[in-house]
Amino acid sequence: MIDRQHHYMRELRMRRKRMEVIKKEGTVLKGEKARALEEVKSLKQEITSLAFRSSRLALSLPSFARRRVPSSSTRDHVP
């Protein structure tokens, strides 16, 4: 009976050690997940900003082309 008790105690110690490892891995994964979420949020903001700038530039392009009429001296100029 004592041998069986020793066996159970050894099994309990091994399971506790495994639980500690699993908890540490969980903590690490939570930290990585938080960093990844922040990066995703930052990239989404950047995409929104770039889309806004792109649409603004697309809207201003026709008016820019009308305003800028090249003169004959710059057209014939070869660098």
User: Is the backbone of residue 70 left (phi > 0), alpha (psi -120 to 50) or beta?
Assistant: beta
Residue 7 lies in a domain: yes
Tens-digit pLDDT profile for the chain (79 aa)?
A: 788 899 999 999 999 999 999 999 999 999 999 999 999 999 999 999 999 999 898 888 777 666 665 665 555 555 4
Residue 74 lies in a domain: no
CA atoms within 13 A on the CB side of 12: 6
Number of domains within the chain? 1
Q: How far is CA 30 from CA 35, 43, 45, 59, in A?
A: 9, 20, 23, 43
Residue 44 lies in a domain: yes
